Chain A
Amino acid sequence: VNGESTIFLVDDDPAVLRSLTALVRVVFPRVEAYTSASEFLEAYRPERPGCLVLDVAMPGMNGLELQRKLIEGKIDLPVVFITGHGNVQMAVGAMQAGAVNFLEKPFHEQELWDSIRKGLQRDEENRRRKHRRDEVEKRIAQLSPGERQVLDLILDGKFNKEIAAELGLSIRTIEDRRSRLMQKMQASSVAELVQMAMIR
């Protein structure tokens, strides 16, 4: 578990919020508590890893609305819902929108911790994938236009000869560009190249 990750708690009832904080802190040291959705939205920066634990029923913006807001803002923070009196419809809606879990009170603390842990794992994966994607993008950005042309044709599954014929260049030139390209992309094989392209 990434020690940098933070558990964000949102509940309108301050007493409940405090007790939740205490309970979550038993397992996850970094906890931030907010008494309303808007307060959280204002404070949160997308680069901060973690998991969001949300009460569904809140005055003003409720939990489900906050979830929608995050999706609209392309903020991929995993959400665990807690509800006093939810119903199936609500739960299905929340899950379809990507919630990690929909916990109905009273829940066992283990359930909450497991859900949070699952949320953190998902956040970590998201972030790792995002990091790799960013890396690939960065390497592609270093390629010259000629190298870029050759990369696209390699990804299409073409051999040097075919690429040379298509671009009206000598095989030699293609081979040069190809070895430079592989170097810049830090790929040791075509298979690695294709993997990178798929991340993207």
Chain B
Amino acid sequence: MTNTEKAESKDVLGLHEKVEELPRAQPGDLHKSSLEEVQGMIDGREVGRGELEVPNRARRRSDAILGAVSFAAERFLRATSWEESIREFLERLGRAAEVSRVYVGENYRAQDGAPLSSARYEWAAAGVSPQIANPQLQGFSWRACGMGRFEESLRRGRAIHGSANELIQSERELLTALGVRSVLVVPIFVDRHWWGYMGFDECQAERVWSDAEIDALKAASSILGAAIRRQQAEKALREARDELEQQVEQRTAVLKATNWELRHEIAQRTSAEEALRESEERLRSMFENTMMGLYRTAPDGHILMANSALLRMLGFSSFEELARRNLEEEGYEPGYPRSIFKQHMESRGEVVGLESAWTRRDGTVLFVRESARAVRDKAGKTLFYEGTVEDITERRRAEEEAQRRLDELAHVARLSTMGEMVSGLAHELSQPLAAIANHARACRYQIRALRGEGRQGVLDSVGHIAEQADRAGQIIRHLRTFARRADSSRLPADVNELIHDVTILLEVEMRLHDTCLELVLNRSLPEVTIDRIQIEQVVINLVRNAMEAMEETPKKERHVAIRTSCVAENLLAVAVEDAGRGPQTECIDRLFEPFYTTKASGMGLGLSISRSIIEAHGGRLEALPNAERGTTFRFTLPVEDKGDAR
């Protein structure tokens, strides 16, 4: 016990002053203070202290130790982590101090809060067994392994050293197990907190540690503590900075998000504006590119707007040119004055589908169909008219053409009718005239056989009767020949096409009669050489007859079918079927006689003329009662022109 007491006191005393010398590091002044401290220690070393035993050797060692400490200081200063350089430091230190082992251990707390220590780094001289992997030195408790005195000193900041024989039993046992003959351990303080320990082992011989060696080791531990502290501070700083950065980043992210939202909003607003612009452009484009004419005019006749379609229709190259017109003065064709438009507008507030005729730039007529409305202010005063215009000139022309053709056909029909009438009349008249002439002649011969006064006078008179009757007959005969001569040019034609054309002409009449038309056309009909207008007239006559025959038929059943077919190699047929009541069977034969009619109106010449026309073409026209009801009128036409078929 005495030995232990002695050694302890000695060690404690020896180290106490040095511990007191440990600088009080100030937060935020880490590097500087540590470095100054080290530097101060190195510069102001007291060389004389280790000169008692082997002064030169001890001094050399101390210098070498300080050289190692200096190296470490420099390294620790530059390196980002003290652990990078610790091994090299320990080795230099070990070689400089000429010890068996140099080591560093760290304190920590177990989960239950008990203080524990573990060896972290070690250097061992050649031939000395390293103890870094010794489980005894990992997670050990100084107190528990009988090193309580050591812990006590170290905690207080004191170095502790001694040789095995100087130590108490428990300490000696442990150190002997580790092969240690002499030991020197100094604490490592980090920011006034006992962080760990650093120590020298001497395994060769017992050794007395010089003050210089002790100081040098204390300097080394101090440097290491400073380095650890620095690193901890740096880490804290880095963490703080990271946190800051993270915060900044978060803030930035929020800002970014806000920014993005803003941009998005801006973009949306822009695209909305664009959409608006686009829709305006579309409207403008529609206004400009539509086929329909669009305009805006003032009630006083000024033209306020007109799109290019309307300009085109009217033959103007620019709006300005058109705008020179005042509609009150020009622009409307006679017969279609603007007053009609305004009347409609004033009485109904709008104009729907008004057909009108305007004057083009070149003076020609533009037929239009227009719809317009009046735009008024709150007081109800008309600001302007807004309207759409459709060019119906083509349609009008087509209608006029159809009308013209119908008129032409009607004219031909009238001519034919007249011809037929003359023909019929001539026949009817020639008979009695012939009879008159015959009788007159017979009289003359009978009178000649008589005798008596005045015989000659009677004979002369009767002779005149006969002559005049003959003359009348001649005139009628001429008339008849003339009427028959209406035989116009014949050209090859497609009968199906002809029927198509005719149905177009008859469309309106069919509608008026609520009659539905069916075409059953044989597509492989040969061409026939015909007087097209005459055959058209026959078809029209037959279809009209069919429609008239169905006047008492319920509207839904009014049905006309036109069929074409090939009845023989050189003969085609056209049949017009109706669903009417049909004539009495005994009347069918008489249908074609001139002046025979079942209708209140009409002369009864239609069928007679039609038959004449068809027969003049070498065909036949006949009427056949249908199986169910109605009548079929069927005519044939020879494919080859038979020439004089009369």
Residues of A that sit less than 8 Å from B by CB = 13, 15-16, 18-20, 22-23, 25-27, 84-85, 87, 105-106, 109
Q: Which one, B434, B473, B480, contacts A19 given CB within 8 A? A: B434
Question: What is the distance, in angstroms, from B590's C-beta to the closest C-beta of chain A?
Answer: 10
Q: Is B432 an interface residue (CB 8 A)?
A: yes
Count residues of B near A (Cβ-Cβ below 8 Å): 20
Offer 28 A-B interface pairs, CB within 8 angstroms, sorted by A: A13-B435, A15-B432, A16-B434, A16-B435, A18-B435, A19-B434, A19-B435, A19-B436, A19-B437, A19-B438, A19-B439, A20-B438, A22-B442, A23-B438, A25-B442, A26-B442, A26-B445, A26-B446, A84-B431, A85-B427, A85-B480, A87-B646, A105-B430, A105-B434, A105-B473, A106-B437, A109-B438, A109-B441
Instruction: For residue B226, give the distance in angstroms from its CB to the closest CB of chain A.
Output: 149
Contact of A22 with B438 in the complex, beta carbons under 8 Å: yes
Q: Measuring CB to CB, which residues of chain B are less than 8 angstroms from any residue of chain A?
A: 427, 430-432, 434-439, 441-443, 445-446, 470, 473-474, 480, 646
Contacts of B435 in A (CB 8 A): 13, 15-16, 18-19
Complex-state Cα separation, A109 to B434, whole angstroms: 11
Given the complex, which residues of A lie within 8 Å of B434, measured CB to CB? Answer: 16, 19, 84, 105-106
Bound complex: CA A167 to CA B434 (Å):
70
Within the complex, the shortest CB–CB distance from B347 to chain A, in Å, comes to: 65
- Chain B residues contacting A22 (CB-CB under 8 Å) are 438-439, 442-443
CB distance from A167 to the nearest CB of B (A): 63
In Å, the complex CA distance between A19 and B435 comes to: 5
Beta-carbon contact of B431 and A15 below 8 Å = yes
In angstroms, Cα B442 to Cα A16, docked, is 13
A84 CA / B441 CA spacing, docked (Å): 18
**Chain A, residue nearest B589 (CB):** A59
Name the B residues within 8 Å of A20 (CB-CB).
Answer: 438
The closest CB in chain A to the CB of B436 belongs to A19
Q: Is the CB of B441 within 8 A of A16?
A: no
Nearest CB to that of B448 among chain A residues? A26
Chain A, Cβ-Cβ closest to B481 = A85
The complex places the Cα of A85 from the Cα of B428 at a distance, in Å, of: 12
Complex Cα distance, B441 from A87, in Å, reads: 26
Q: Which of the listed residues B430, B434, B470, B473 has the most CB atoms from chain A within 10 Å of its own CB? A: B434
Give the distance to chain B from A16, nearest Cβ to Cβ, in Å. 5
* Nearest CB of chain A from residue B447's CB, rounded to whole Å: 11
B430 and A23 contact, CB distance less than 8 A: no
Complex CA–CA separation, A119 to B436 (angstroms) = 25
B442 touches which of A19, A84, A87, A105 (Cβ 8 Å): A19
A105's nearest neighbour on chain B, judged by CB, is B434
A16 touches B438 (CB 8 A): yes
Query: With A and B bound together, what is the CA distance between A19 and B430 in angstroms?
Result: 13
CB of B253, distance to nearest CB on chain A (Å)? 114
Given A16-B431, A85-B480, answer yes or no on A106-B474 (Cβ-Cβ < 8 Å): yes
B449 to chain A, nearest CB (A): 9
Q: How far is the CA of A2 from the CA of B206 in the complex (A)?
A: 203
| B437 nearest CB neighbor, chain A only | A106
Task: Note all chain A residues with C-beta closer than 8 A to B474.
Answer: 106
Cβ–Cβ < 8 Å partners of A109 in chain B: 438, 441
17 additional contacts (CB under 8 A) given A13-B435, A19-B436: A15-B431, A15-B432, A15-B435, A16-B431, A18-B439, A19-B434, A19-B437, A19-B439, A26-B442, A27-B445, A84-B427, A84-B431, A84-B434, A85-B480, A87-B646, A105-B430, A106-B473
Contact B470 A106 (CB under 8 A): yes
**A15 contact set on B, CB distance < 8 A:** 431-432, 435
Report whether A23 and B442 are in contact in the complex, using a CB–CB cutoff of 8 Å: yes
Q: How far is it, in angstroms, between the C-alpha of A197 and the C-alpha of B637 when the chains are bound?
A: 55
Please, how many angstroms separate the alpha-carbon atoms of A26 and B447 in the complex?
Answer: 10
Give the distance to chain B from A13, nearest Cβ to Cβ, in Å. 5
The chain B residue sitting closest to A15, CB to CB, is B435
Which chain B residues border A27 with CB–CB below 8 Å? 445
Cα distance A109–B442 in the bound complex, in angstroms = 9
In the complex, A15→B480 CA distance in Å?
A: 22
Q: Are A84 and B430 in contact (CB under 8 A)?
A: yes
B580 to chain A, nearest CB (A): 27
**A13, B446: Cβ atoms closer than 8 Å:** no
CB distance from B448 to the nearest CB of A (A): 9
